[in-house]
Amino acid sequence: MSTSSPSPSSPSDPVAGPELVVYWRPGCPFCGSLRRALRRAGIETTEIDIWQDPTGAAAVRAATGGDETVPTVRLGETVMVNPAPRAVVSWAAAEGVARHEPAPAWWRRWRRAESPTP
């Protein structure tokens, strides 16, 4: 299980809010796209690799009717299965999910330049 969320409500937390949980698995391009979008937006998440966490895999199966479809995102009692990254960013912002300073623009440009173009 990989966690990128801060400790609960410490003074250094910019804004404490509800927990956004992202269930993912290695090699999933949709998971990578969603996770990158959330990092770029500075949204705090708890990330659970369903191949390493049987409890996380069971939670995904319960939410999807028996399938292990990822990415699956949970915020409170609401679950989204394979959502568009923009929809999750908007949803998280509307629900007050904790945010941190997004990656600087120079870093995002450098990462884009390092990526192979199709």
Give the per-residue pLDDT at 102: 66
Range 15-36 burial, b when 16+ CB lie within 10 A, else e: eebeebbbbbbeebeebeebbe
- Residue pair 82/30 in contact (Cβ under 8 Å)? The answer is yes
Can you give the pLDDT at residue 9?
A: 39
Tens of pLDDT along 84-98? 999 999 998 888 887
Q: Where do the structural domains in the chain lie, given as residue ranges?
A: 2-6+16-114
Tell me which residues of the chain have a pLDDT lower than 70.
Answer: 1-17, 102-118
Distances from the Cα of 8 to the Cαs of 18, 37, 50, 56, 97, in angstroms?
Answer: 10, 23, 24, 21, 13
Domain 2-6+16-114 -> CATH class: alpha beta
In this prediction the pTM is: 0.72
Q: How many residues does the chain have?
A: 118
The neighbour count for residue 51, using CB atoms within 10 Å, is: 14
Q: Could you tell me if 57 and 69 are in contact, meaning their C-beta atoms sit under 8 angstroms apart?
A: no
